[in-house]
Each structure stands twice: as C-alpha cells, then as structure tokens.
C-alpha cells in the first residue's frame, strides 16, 4: 500500500526532502493566535511554526481548540487577533478561498465532502485555474476546455489509484463509508496542487485497516515533501507521522516536542486526564 503511494517521481528525491526537513524555512508562522466566541476563548494565544516539508501534529483533549485553531489558520473562522503568515503572506482574517489559492488546503473533521457529486467530480472541483471554470471559458464549450479537463481527469485517476479509490470513481460521495470520504477529501486536496495540508482528524471514526491506509497515504505525501499540519486523537499515528507535536488544552498551547518525549511529560498527561 505504502509502496504504491510512494511510487511517484518524487520518490527519488525523498532524500533531498529529508534534508529540507532539517534545514527548510518555516512555510507557516502562527503568531499569538486568538479566537473568541463571545466569552469562550476557544484559542487563547497560540504561536508556532511549521517548517517546509515537515509534518506537525496538533493534539489535545476534546474542546481544546484544535479545530478552531485549524479553521482560523485556514481562513474559515476569523481570528480575533494574531497573525497567520503562510509562504510570506499574512492570511489572518482572509477568507478560506484566499488561503486555498495560496496553497494551503484544509480538510474537515466531519462532512467535508460534496455529497451529491461523484468521487471523480469531488476531485475535479478543486483543480485550480482551470480554463472551463470561468464563465467565458465555460461558454467557449468543450473544444476550449475539454483537453485540459481530460488531462485533469487522468491526474485524478492516478490520485484515486494511489488512494485505492479508483473503482469508486463514479459513486456519489454520499454512498461511501466515513473513511472513504476522508480519503476523497485528501484526494480532492491533492488535486489543488497544495503546498500544505491542514488535516482535521483524518483517521477519526474510521475502521482500523482504513485508518492505517490513510496513515500510510499521509506518510507517503510527507515523504514526497508536502507539508502537513495534522489534528489527530490516535496518538500512535501521530507519533509515526509527525516530526513535531504541539499539545493544546483549554485554548492554550501547553507543550511541544517529539511525541516520544511528550508522553512522559506530566502537564500533557494532566491535560488529557483532566480534559476527559
């Protein structure tokens, strides 16, 4: 499964991206991020960096503010204050389509699929700057956009094969299992040619074998040099996938480091035990 996923041209350069991972500059810098909902301080002063080509985990008990932080970074939720500098641009307060066009694609904790679109269409929607997506391009007819679209369909089929979803191509997303929908979202994110993915619990509520499959898929993407910021409760996966882990509790960032070290830290254990 993992072999299939790494079976791309990028594989030969994986040792280069390994080097990048150590020396690369920060593609994302989040500074003093705050998100308040009335009196609730869902995110209460969080700062971190994500180096290009690395995978960073964001963990913490339920209600810690992980999803809210991810939404604020991705633009769906407007931060109360703070800065979100992605690839040199300050995106704080900009809508999510701006973040997406800058190369940062977020997946959803729940219900992120286009239910009554087929799996193939779900993927094609996110192709950026496509000829037939402007009104004039669309009116130009298939002769104008058809060849380009056909190339994207081929690219989508490659991605679907890598995610082992190829035979589901013509199924409506609403007819898939929860885990398959998560995979569709990952495939859709990849169609956007992203620089970075923001993943909100990509393995939650998914049966174990599919969860492992998703983990391998993400691991292959990371090895291809894609930057990942990942919220996840399954700490084993986080440990295997992530170069660095941030721990949030009560809207605050309480620790960061490698998963192996964090397991033994008292404040992390307290947050998890206290938060449940």
Distance of alpha carbon 94 from alpha carbon 72, whole angstroms: 9
Q: Does 62 sit near ligand ATP (CB under 6 A)? A: yes
Residue 188 CB, nearest distance to Mg ion (Å)?
20
Q: Does 110 sit near ligand ATP (CB under 6 A)? A: no
Q: Which residues contact 267 (CB under 8 A, 6 or more apart)?
A: 247, 254, 255
| 184 vs 268, beta carbon nearer other proteins | 184
Cβ-based neighbour number of residue 62 at 10 Å: 8
Q: Does 205 sit near ligand ATP (CB under 6 A)? A: no
164 — alpha (psi -120 to 50), left (phi > 0) or beta? left
Q: Does 269 sit near other proteins (CB under 8 A)? A: no
Strand partners, 253: 248
Distance of alpha carbon 272 from alpha carbon 267, whole angstroms: 9
| 102 vs 220, beta carbon nearer other proteins | 102
| 80 vs 109, beta carbon nearer Mg ion | 109
Q: Does 177 sit near other proteins (CB under 8 A)? A: no
Stretch that binds ligand ATP, among 35-43, 97-105, 149-157, 190-198 (CB under 6 A): 35-43
Q: Does 54 sit near Mg ion (CB under 5 A)? A: no
Phi, psi of 272 (to 5 degrees): -65, -45
Among 64, 156, 218, 259, binds ligand ATP (CB under 6 A): 64
Q: Which residues contact 192 (CB under 8 A, 6 or more apart)?
A: 100, 105, 126, 127, 128
Tokens representing 87 are 């690839």
Distance of alpha carbon 94 from alpha carbon 249, whole angstroms: 26
Q: Does 67 sit near ligand ATP (CB under 6 A)? A: yes
Which run of H or of E encompasses 47? strand 40-51
Distance of alpha carbon 101 from alpha carbon 184, whole angstroms: 19
The DSSP code sequence of 161-175 is HHTT-GGGTTSBGGG
| 60 vs 194, beta carbon nearer ligand ATP | 60
Residue 173 CB, nearest distance to ligand ATP (Å)?
22
Residue 61 CB, nearest distance to Mg ion (Å)?
11
By the 8 A CB rule, do 30 and 49 touch?
A: yes
By the 8 A CB rule, do 169 and 117 touch?
A: no
| 149 vs 164, beta carbon nearer other proteins | 149
Q: Residues 90-119 vs Mg ion: string with x where CB under 5 A?
A: -------------------x----------
Residue 257 binds what, of Mg ion, ligand ATP, other proteins, none (CB under 5 to 8 Å, by partner type)?
Answer: none
Residues that bind Mg ion (CB under 5 A): 67, 109
Q: Which residues bind other proteins (CB under 8 A)?
A: 74-76, 95-97, 100-101, 105-108, 111-118, 120-122, 124-128, 130-135, 137-143, 145-146, 149-150, 153, 157, 169-170, 172, 188-189, 191-192
């Amino acid at each position: 499964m993992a072999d299939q996923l790494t079976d791309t041209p990028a594989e030969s350069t994986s040792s280069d991206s390994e080097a990048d991972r150590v020396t690369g500059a920060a593609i994302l810098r989040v500074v003093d991020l705050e998100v308040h909902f009335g009196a609730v301080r869902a995110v209460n002063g969080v700062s971190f960096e994500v180096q290009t080509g690395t995978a960073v985990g964001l963990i913490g008990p339920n209600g810690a503010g992980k999803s809210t932080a991810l939404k604020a970074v991705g633009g769906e939720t407007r931060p109360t204050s703070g800065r979100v500098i992605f690839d040199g641009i300050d995106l704080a307060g900009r809508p999510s389509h701006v973040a997406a066009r800058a190369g940062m694609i977020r997946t959803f904790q729940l219900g992120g699929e286009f239910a009554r679109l087929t799996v193939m269409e779900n993927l094609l929607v996110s192709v950026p700057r496509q000829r037939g997506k402007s009104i004039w391009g669309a009116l130009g007819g298939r002769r104008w956009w058809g060849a380009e679209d056909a190339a994207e369909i081929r690219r989508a089929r490659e991605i679907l094969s890598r995610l082992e979803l190829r035979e589901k191509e013509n199924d409506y997303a609403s007819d898939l299992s929860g885990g398959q929908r998560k995979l569709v979202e990952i495939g859709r994110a990849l169609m956007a040619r992203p620089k970075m993915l923001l993943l909100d619990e990509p393995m939650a509520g998914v049966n174990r074998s599919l969860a492992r499959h998703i983990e391998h898929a993400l691991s292959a993407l990371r090895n291809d040099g894609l930057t990942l910021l990942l919220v996840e409760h399954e700490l084993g996966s986080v440990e295997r996938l992530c170069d660095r882990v941030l721990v949030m509790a009560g809207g605050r960032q309480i620790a960061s480091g490698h998963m192996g070290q964090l397991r033994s830290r008292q404040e992390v254990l307290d947050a998890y035990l206290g938060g449940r």
